[in-house]
Structure 1
Amino acid sequence: MASLSGVAVDLGGTKLAAARFINDTLVERLQVPTPRDGGLEAKLECLTELVTALKLTAVDAFGVAVAGRVDGQGNWHSVNHKTLTGVTSVPLKDMLLDRVGCPAVIMNDAQAAALGEARFGAGKGADPCGFITVSTGVGGGFVFGGNMLEAPSGLPGHIGFTRNSYASRFCGSGRFGTLESVASGTAIARIAKDLGRDIDSAVDVFRAWNAGEGWAKTIVETSACAVAEACCDLRALLGLERIVIGGSVGLASGYLDQVATAIAGEPELFQVEVSHAILGHDAGLYGALSHAKRES
């Protein structure tokens, strides 16, 4: 595989990060809060400023990771319209080319993180390898023989919108009883509030869980069991050898242990190794640029 050189961007709901790589080494990284006002135009303007600061040129490999679905034509779509608003068939690939003068390879952020971890992080040596991020939402990606599982729809990896026996609510995708509706940080906070708990976010629920409060224990462990069920389903469906777990919820202290314990209760054939993501917030940058290099 060619060495990793070029520029990558990870456009998330709370942060916008960009980095330049030279010969597999991240040499410069910039990050700013994702603009909350001004809609898509403000986000693109901010992205343009970051890649300009990194001296992006027309001959650079340029990979961009975004939350949501990216189809085969480089159009950007929201799937959960409650967590990603104002994104409906946005021709992001063409818009970025017009702005920065460099063709971008665009992909879903969880798929980018999956590729980054598989090639450079906790997934190395496991084939096929999966990745699940449990954060504001739940997403993922699957890597076979070093290549992403892809489709023109951009749907592969959207595991948060699959059915789960622990779920009993609708999610923003319009589907009922999804993994995201019970396991995500958004779901954890909502369930706690529905119980009358005075909390601001999933962070408060985890704080209560670590303090041994029973109501929080039920919520967090249900989330972990739901993720474990999904892991075993993926083992049955795709034969994954390892699943890397990331995201703010997935990397919370003690959470992976709960997932692993639940997996151990399944029949041995369907048990799958799980491990923490090790590239942290940079996984999507590594994956996006790696994908761009291969596509260029």
Structure 2
Amino acid sequence: MSTRSEPAQERLSAVMRERRQLLNVAYRLLGSLSDAEDVVQETYARWYALSPQQQEAVESPGAWLTKVATRICLDLLGSARARRERYVGAWLPEPVPDPAEWTTGRSAADPADRVTLDESISMAFLVVLESMTPAERVAFVLHDVFRYSFTEVAEIVGRTPGACRQLASSARRRIRASQAPTAPTARRARIVRDFKQAWEAKDIDTLISLLDPDVTTIADSGGLVAARLHPIEGAEQVARAFADVADRAPGLAILERTVNGQPGLVAQQDGVTVVVVAFDIADDRITHIWAVRNPEKLRPWSTN
């Protein structure tokens, strides 16, 4: 026999199933896992603040939750520029590991607390998203990544479908202008492995051979650890910088890991992750290196 509570239980289950989707949307919009988690928590808080009658009146809880989460993200993106200006050094998106390597102690076994890895989460992709206006970023991510129609996007961001189409088109041009042809994953992994071995050996000549002449390295420490505050440019300068790190950190363990869905490296000192390194590769040469050293951004990489 059915009970009157069954529809409410089904609705609750449907609402909770949206958690991972909300986390994925928020992370791509904000580039910060911790901020994305806060957005999801606030979104659910607003849902549970509704009366039972108000919840029942919501035709699609999933759409309601996405709309609320996206609008919270828009507010955060609007204030992000000022916060980034106060940030010490370069700001990079918060890296996330492969699900099999996800070790955050709070909820290590819960798939709903993990970000789905695909091309829209690579460090190169997220860095380009950072250059967009908040409206461009939202329109592009919702439509091109999550396949919401422009009518749905317009309802979420409070603009016309035509305006959202133009925003997404502008964002798409930025993406195309910044992207080089993507090498197969196996080839990228081989190049990263060669870089790892040369880094460990402090082999500057081999490092240079793996780097594009105009390679750029950007480090994000947030001012919390000693790090270069400005980009390093040029193959020889980058190679010597990595060799210098190996010289100054004896016993540094360099591990091959998946970083935002792409082959990358993780360096650990005494079992503690101290840097996560992401790469962009074109024509079998490393063109960009992003090194995240801010401890606050390395929580999912902790082995504790």
TM bucket, shorter chain? under 0.3
Greater fraction helix: 2
TM-score (norm 2): 0.27
More strand by share: 1
